[in-house]
């Protein structure tokens, strides 16, 4: 039984998957298996994967059902004690699994282990992710909600989860089109601390077409109502959810979806927002679109603007 089962959902990533797999096979810790789940890809991604002749690699094919379903398929077929997720265009530092294994050895009674990440900007230049807390000098158990107010301390390409955790909290919700990862992190955060390593051992590649930045109907996104009871008695969860509501409310107003905007604002406690965020909510849709253009233009020249 391998220590880690690495689950990689694959859909139309023929230009990226080879580089991703090379970053896996370059790991300095080699007690792992790799499960690439071909989610009905229509390009040459599968052919690229088949060029890798490595007995640690398994290719599983299914009809297209989305990343959440592909990850769930990987979990179901995994033989390892721990599940390590990696997206098909993201990268690992060669010591990623080694450092995660050290964190597990230090905190054997914990079930979720995450690391800091690099984030590619529009110029494809990796930059350190910015968090809302002082990064610890050694792996440290952290509350998920208190420490994910600027950026989530769990990223799908930088987290290792003990397989039995899924028996407790469930797997990815396939009914959610965008935000299914955050939905799972919330369920995990309600029951587990996250052992966080501040070394940036994974790189999230820039994707201009990400669903996170597109105006998708609210019913296809993370359903905050499922956590209504918990947030009534959990201050950190309430603030975390309100910041997510804020982000979705901006997208709704920007796309002219007043129904979803009003629904999100009605459930939001504005005292959980800073002055910049409250200002942005008051802008008309064209104002938000203008501000987003400024943000994107600034990022192209290396200037990072954020309401958080």
Distance CA 210, CA 196 (A): 25
Is residue 24 within 8 Å of 52, Cβ to Cβ? no
Tokens of residue 256, six digits:
């002219």
Q: Helix (H, G, I), strand (E, B), or coil: what is residue 148?
A: coil
Distance, in Å, from the CA atom of 73 to the CA atom of 61, rounded to the nearest integer, reads: 9
Task: Average the pLDDT over 176-190 and give the result.
Answer: 94
CA dist list (Å): 127 to 130, 132, 191: 9, 16, 31
pLDDT of residue 216: 52
- Residue 213 — very low, low, confident or very high, per pLDDT cuts 50/70/90? very low
Q: Are strands 32-39 and 4-10 parallel, antiparallel or unpaired?
A: parallel
pTM reported for the whole predicted model: 0.92
Give the pLDDT band of residue 302 (cuts 50, 70, 90).
Answer: low
pLDDT of 223: 80
Mean pLDDT, rounded, of the chain: 92
Q: What would the two tokens of residue 162 be?
A: 């003990």
Q: What is the pLDDT of residue 235?
A: 96
* Structure confidence by residue, pLDDT tens digits, 127-161: 999 999 999 999 999 999 999 999 999 999 999 99
At residue 4, the 3 state secondary structure works out as strand
For the chain, which domains are there?
4-204 (3.90.550.10), 215-300 (no CATH)
Q: What is the mean pLDDT of residues 82-110?
A: 98
170 has a pLDDT exceeding 70? yes
């Amino acid at each position: 039984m391998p220590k880690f089962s690495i689950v990689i959902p694959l859909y139309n990533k023929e230009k990226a998957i080879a580089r991703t797999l090379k970053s896996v096979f370059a790991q300095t810790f080699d007690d792992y298996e790799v499960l690439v789940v071909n989610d009905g890809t229509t390009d040459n991604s599968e052919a690229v994967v088949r060029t890798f002749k490595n007995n640690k690699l398994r290719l599983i094919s299914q009809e297209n059902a989305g990343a959440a379903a592909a990850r769930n398929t990987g979990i179901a077929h995994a033989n390892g004690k721990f599940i390590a997720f990696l997206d098909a265009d993201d990268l690992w530092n060669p010591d990623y699994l080694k450092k995660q294994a050290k964190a597990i050895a230090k905190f054997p009674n914990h079930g979720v282990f995450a690391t800091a990440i690099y984030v590619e900007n529009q110029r494809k230049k990796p930059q350190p992710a910015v968090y809302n807390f002082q990064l610890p000098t050694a792996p440290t158990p952290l509350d998920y909600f208190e420490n994910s107010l600027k950026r989530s301390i769990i990223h799908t390409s930088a987290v290792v989860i003990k397989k039995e955790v899924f028996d407790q909290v469930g797997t990815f919700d396939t009914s959610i089109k965008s935000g299914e990862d955050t939905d799972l992190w919330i369920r995990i955060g309600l029951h587990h601390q996250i052992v966080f390593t501040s070394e940036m051992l994974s790189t999230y590649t820039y994707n201009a077409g990400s669903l996170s930045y597109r105006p998708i109907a609210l019913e296809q996104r993370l359903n905050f109502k499922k956590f209504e009871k918990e947030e009534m008695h959990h201050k950190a969860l309430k603030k975390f959810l309100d910041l997510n509501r804020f982000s979705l409310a901006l997208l709704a107003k920007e796309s002219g979806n007043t129904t979803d905007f009003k629904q999100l604002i009605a459930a939001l406690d504005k005292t959980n927002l800073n002055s910049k965020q409250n200002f942005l909510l008051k802008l008309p849709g064209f104002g938000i679109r203008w501000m987003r253009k400024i943000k994107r233009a600034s990022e192209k020249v290396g200037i990072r603007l954020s309401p958080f």
